[in-house]
Each structure stands twice: as C-alpha cells, then as structure tokens.
Structure 1
Amino acid sequence: MKSILEFSRAKREQHPIVMIAAYDALMARLVAESEADAILVGDSVAMVVHGHPSTVHATLDMMCTHVAAVRRGAPDFMVVADLPFLTARRGRLAATEAAGALMQAGATAVKIEGVAGHEDVIAHLVESGIPVMGHLGLTPQSVHQLGGYRFQGREPAEAERVRAESRRLQELGAFAFVLECVPSALAASISAERAIPSIGIGAGGGTDGQVLVLSDLLGLDARFQPRFARRYTEGHAVVLEAINHFARDVRTATFPAQAEVLA
C-alpha cells in the first residue's frame, strides 16, 4: 500500500490488511519486499530496540530517527508512525508540530492512542492534511493508569466505551484504528459497524486486518512470547546458532577461508 485510500478499498473489498511493526532500514526493506501492506513504526521501539520497560520512554526524536530509517528502507511503502507519550495532550499546536516532524521524517500517517481529551487534536490534524489512525482498547501509553497490560472491554461499560470511541474516531476523520487486547466478539461487532477499517492485535480474527511486531513473528526474543503473537520461525535459535557457528569457525581457524581473504 502507498496511501490511506488503499485502506478504505481493502475494507470495501474485504481484503484483510497486513501491518508489520518495524524500526530500521533493513527490516523495512524486507517488509517492503513481502506481501505485507504497511509498516508501523510503533513507540514499542522504546522497548524492542532501546530496552526500556514501556512505551512511555519513546521520545519524538527517537520516533523521527526510526521513521526516517524505515522510510529509507521502504521508500514507496505505507508507513504509519506513533505519536509518542503525551504528544496529543499538549494541545493542538504541539501535537501538530510533532505530527509534522514525523511526516517530514517520512511517515505517511500518524497513530494516536485514545480519544477522550484530545478529540480536537485529532480533528485538527485531519483538517491539516495529516492522516490519523486511532488506537483503542489496551493503550500502552496509559499502562500505569490501566494498572498494567490488562485486557480491555470485558465489562459492559468498558465495551461500550471502546465502541463509542471507535464511532467518534470515524466522525473525526480517522482513516483506520487499531483494536488491541479486546474480546474477539466485541472487536468483530465494532469492525462490522464502522466504515473505516480496524487493525487487530490480540483482538481475534474478526477485525479488518492484523498487526504484529516483526521481531515477535520472527521469534527473535526467547524471553517475550505474548499469547497473541504467533511465531512463524524460531529466529532466536537460528540467529544464536549462526553466531555460535561463526565463533567456532574463528576459534578453529576455519574463518576466514582463503577465498574470503582479500589479496
């Protein structure tokens, strides 16, 4: 995909949307060569790449650096970038400047967590020509307020809040929204009600698309295995064996071979 118009067409044609979260040029190039539709430069980069305990540690400079790297790796691909912690809460001017910086770094669109308290920001960004993707359910930037990474929408009041927020996002002009860690029946019914597509993560198969972090689907982190993230290869074991193979070759003087030595 190259534009938000293709998201709308995918929804109309019932073509499931495939998003991959990636953070650097090499991985972006691999995704761009694949059958995936879009790249998300998530604020999860603070955890996956920089080793922080939560996404609240992502900064605008950090996000811009990774967006620019991803754009260089995937120059013609749809790239959605997260607005980092508190960005949408500092008012329209600050949010517009931050979103503008992400767009200038190479983003096609920005993603904003939640709705309440910054509806005016979402509307202003859309009116300013900046495509906005919403994010509902489990919103990691609010992890401390939520009391941890807890499933959302099980209680009727919570479910109705998520449903109402999805409706409001559509009214405000968002082109799509992520539904994270909500009951599958709720996600499916919300997706059926909305004209804009939903992208699920831990929300069952009834959404209009799915998103996973590339390192999760590659199985690169043996210590992090969320239930919703299917491993499509055991990358941790593959990479570890390659490194150990190299170490053995060095120690047995079988690397470099004569053909690998520059004259």
Structure 2
Amino acid sequence: MQQFKKQTISSIINAKGNRKLSMITAYDALFAKLFDGEVDFILVGDSLNMSFGGKNDTLSITMEQMIYHTKAVCNGAKNTFIICDMPFGTYTNEKIAFENAMAVYQQTSADAVKIEGGKNKAHIVKYLTDNSIAVVGHIGLMPQNFRVEGGYKIKGKDSQNIQSLIEDAKAIEAAGAFCIVLEGVKPDAAKLITEAVGVPIIGIGAGIDVDGQVLVWSDMLGFFDEFKPKFVRKYLNGAQLVKKSVQEYVRDVNDKTFPSDEEIY
C-alpha cells in the first residue's frame, strides 16, 4: 500500500501533471488516524453536518463546530495535510473571513482552509493568502448554494458556463489558491478547466481528467446507505458490517457467551 509523506503546498502544486492526488474527508481522530499517511489530504468538510449531524444540507454548521472537528482530526492525523472547510456565512467579507480563518490557524494544526466561490470570492482568497492563510478554492457545484439554486445543479453543460468556470478557476488561482476542488462538473468541462490553470484541480463528480479525486469517507466506505451519489464508488459495505457485528454482540449477550472466562478479570 502506498504511504504518503506529509505534503507541502509546493509538493502539491508540483504533483500537477506528474501524479494524481487523493483526498478523503474525516471528522474525528479515530478515522483520521486510519487515513493518516494513506492519502495526500484530509478534508474536514462541512459535509459532516449531513453525514455526522444528520442535517439535510451543510448550511447550519458553525465555525465553532468546524474547529472542534478539525482539532480532533489533527490529533489523529499527524502526517497528512489537513484542510478545514469554512462554513456558510464565515467569509462574507475580507475582515470576517480573516478572523475566522485566523481562528482555525490559532486553535488547530490545519494546514489550509477551503472556501466556495470563484470570481466573486477572489478578493477574499487574495486577502487571506496575502495574510499568510493557505487557501483551497471550490468551484462548480457548491453545496453552500443549495437553497439559492434550489438543489444540487450539475455545472459545465454549455459553453457559456464552461467559460465562466474557467474564469472562476483562473481568478482564484491568481488570487493565491494553491489547489481547487471542482465538484459536480461535466467531464469535458472539467478537462478544460484543469488544463486552464497551473494548480491542481481535485474533482468530485468531475470525471477522470482532473489532477486528483476527493470522496466523503462515509460514502466510499458504505456507512451512509440512505442514498449513493452517482459519482461515488463504494469500497466497503461498512453499514452492513457494523450492523452484523452489533447483532452478533447482542446475540452473545443474550446467550451468555459474552463475556467468556478469558474476558473476565
């Protein structure tokens, strides 16, 4: 199994065109420790509001909650580049964005923050990077736009939108973002966007012609089984395995076969 040494911003940028980058989400120390050294990045995604918190979207999670979970992930993963998602409403202007990003840096060991938005957020990306905050961008389908767009809308379906996405990518690259997550974009468009910039494009539901991939851990390991997004490949039937193990435990308790003599002080 490939073991990754901890990446730096330089090594991440230099990976473009040389090898694919892998990213996975984590929300706690337990799973972060399992992923540590196995992937290039761990993203403490605001997706935890749904998979961990049981909410219908990402919008209600707070900065305090994100910092709490980022601390936990940093405790578990000492050898992996860690990114903290900036939640909805925490980067509405330069001052607010810097105060919240500074709190992430001061209270956790995260290596970077991630914000959603293209041209309209380039000035915020620049302000953060000018003030020593490393930024990952996020364009295409942006979950924090869920309500204003009336759902999760696939992007890159026409030439006008593709050109707009290319402009978004170029704008936040110029502002200092060292990496960009590209979500829910048609593969042909994703290829053009990837070729248009000099920083890595990390895809999720954006095809194969990007510089890397990211998946939510509970999706790829089969722990969230209410529905499976089309772009997810399930690598484990986690929910079934856990349920089966719990059923066996209950059976052993009822049968009085647990604890055994070897499991008693």
Corresponding residue of 1:10: 15
The residue that corresponds to 1:194 in the other structure is: 197
Percent identity, aligned pairs only, is 38
Question: Does residue 40 in structure 1 map to residue 48 in structure 2?
Answer: no
Residue 26 of structure 2: aligned partner? 22
1:225 deviates by 0.7
* Structure 1 residue 98 corresponds to structure 2 residue 104: no
C-alpha separation between the residues in 1 aligned to 2:169 and 2:37?
32
Match of 1:181 in 2: 184
Gaps of 5+ in 2: 1-5
Equivalent residue, structure 2, for 1:140: 143
Letter in 1 for 2:142: T
TM-superposed CA distance for 1:33, in Å, is: 4.1
TM-score, normalised with respect to structure 2 = 0.95
Counterpart residue identity of residue 137, structure 2: G
How far has the Cα of 1:111 moved from its partner? 0.5
Alpha-carbon distance, 1:152 to partner:
1.2
The reply to whether residue 230 of structure 1 matches residue 242 of structure 2 is: no
For the pair 1:62 / 2:57, whether they are aligned, the reply is no
The answer for the alignment partner of 1:121 in structure 2 is: 124
**Count of paired positions:** 259
1:147: Cα distance to partner? 1.5
Could you tell me whether the CA contact under 8 Å between 2:121 and 2:172 is conserved in 1?
A: no
In structure 1, the partner of 2:3 is: none
In the alignment, residue 170 of structure 1 is paired with which amino acid?
E
Residues 1:33 and 1:251: Cα distance change in structure 2 (over 3 Å): farther
Deviations 1:4-62 (A, max 9, x none): 112112114x210000011000100000042x111000110111111111010111001
1:247 is aligned to: 250
Hey, what's the Cα distance between the residues in 1 that align with 2:194 and 2:219?
25
Cα distance change on mapping 1:214 and 1:153 into 2, 3 Å: same
CA shift for structure 1 position 122: 0.9
Q: Which amino acid aligns with 1:110?
A: V
Following the alignment from structure 2 to structure 1, what is the Cα–Cα distance between the partners of residues 238 and 113?
30
1:216 and 2:216 are equivalent in the alignment: no
**C-alpha deviation, 1:227, in angstroms:** 0.7
Give unmatched runs, 5+ long, in structure 1. none
Q: TM-score, normalised by structure 1?
A: 0.96
**Secondary structure of the equivalent of 1:88?**
coil
Q: How does 1:162-181 map to 2 (within 5 A)?
A: 162-181=165-184
Alignment partner of 1:110: what SS?
strand
1:260 aligns with 2:263: yes
Query: Post-superposition shift, 1:117?
Result: 3.3
- The code of the aligned residue for 1:257 comes to S
Segments ≥4 residues shifted beyond 3 Å: none
SS at match of 2:146: helix
Q: Residues 120, 33 of structure 1: CA spacing in aligned structure 2 closer, same or farther, 3 A cutoff?
A: closer
| Aligned pair partner of 1:86 in 86, 89, 103 | 89
- Return the letter of the residue paired with 1:92: E
- In the alignment, the residues of structure 1 paired with residue 244 and residue 129 of structure 2 have an alpha-carbon distance, to the nearest angstrom, of 48
CA–CA separation in structure 2 for the residues paired with 1:156 and 1:188: 13
